[in-house]
Amino acid sequence: AQSVTQLDSHVSVSEGTPVLLRCNYSSSYSPSLFWYVQHPNKGLQLLLKYTSAATLVKGINGFEAEFKKSETSFHLTKPSAHMSDAAEYFCVVSDSNYQLIWGAGTKLIIKP
Amino acid sequence: DAGITQSPRHKVTETGTPVTLRCHQTENHRYMYWYRQDPGHGLRLIHYSYGVKDTDKGEVSDGYSVSRSKTEDFLLTLESATSSQTSVYFCAISKQTGNNQPQHFGDGTRLSIL
């Protein structure tokens, strides 16, 4: 069965410094992977998706993620954090029935 | 943003009462989903629909029923609400199924069962 583990429940960085949000997955086949973002009291917005075309995926707002099959990881990065990036981020894998399996989320805190 | 409207946005009700949440889309997408979001759990799928009158259960379907009589509307009903169903409920839509198809979400309904 597919599963997703987000390794940090909270990440705190200073504005202007790099962001790393970690995600490991388990899948018995070549998965599709997504990152979603949720700002406070808002719905969920798709940041980026991996569908086997390229291992480095660029998303919106300067985020990108790298699929590493050998490490079963799909970490989300951004070179320079902005205050508006403060939100909760979810790593998601699509299972064999095309349903989405969600990680528990990582809250990103940006310090001025 | 995808044309998805959830109503109501907030609701407080008592244990044992029936509750219906509505999801309305203007995108004419075939697939619609209901999730609940609870701290520490991410989103969990309650029910989904793959067409008018075609629905199926998700991971946490007990205590919930759904109906889809029109492409644009997907209703979630709690027949007799319990305090464990206090949660934030999200509706999502997708154009097709397939493991590379993203889902697009509404803004959520915050439901409190007292």
pLDDT given for residue B83 in this prediction: 96
Amino acid at A2: Q
HSE at residue A24, side-chain half, CA atoms within 13 A, is 7
pLDDT given for residue B97 in this prediction: 66
Nearest to A86 by CA among A40, A54, A32: A40
Average pLDDT, integer, range A97-112: 89
Q: How many helices (H) and strands (E) does chain B have?
A: 0, 11
- Residue B97 to residue A98, Cβ atoms within 8 A: yes
Comparing alpha-carbon positions, the chain A residue that sits nearest to B39 is A104
Please give the angle made by the CA atoms of A67, A68 and A69, to the nearest 5 degrees.
Answer: 110
* CA gap B23, A95 in Å, rounded: 24
| pLDDT at position A97 over 80 | no
Q: What are phi and psi of B50, to 5 degrees?
A: -115, 15
The encoded tokens of residue A82 equal 């902005």
| pLDDT at position A68 over 70 | yes
The encoded tokens of residue A30 equal 């070549």
Percent of all residues in chain A with a pLDDT value above 70, rounded to a whole number: 97
Q: Could you tell me the end-to-end alpha-carbon distance of chain A, in angstroms, rounded to an integer?
A: 41
- Confidence tier at B76 by pLDDT (50, 70, 90): very high
- Cβ count within 10 A of residue A112: 6
- In A2-41, the residues whose Cβ lies within 8 Å of chain B are 4, 9, 31-32, 34
Chosen for mutation from B43, B89, B97, B109 (greatest number of chain A CBs closer than 10 Å) is B43
How many beta-carbon pairs under 8 angstroms link A with B?
A: 51
Average pLDDT, integer, range A62-87: 95
Distances (CA, A) of B84 to B13, B61, B62: 13, 13, 11
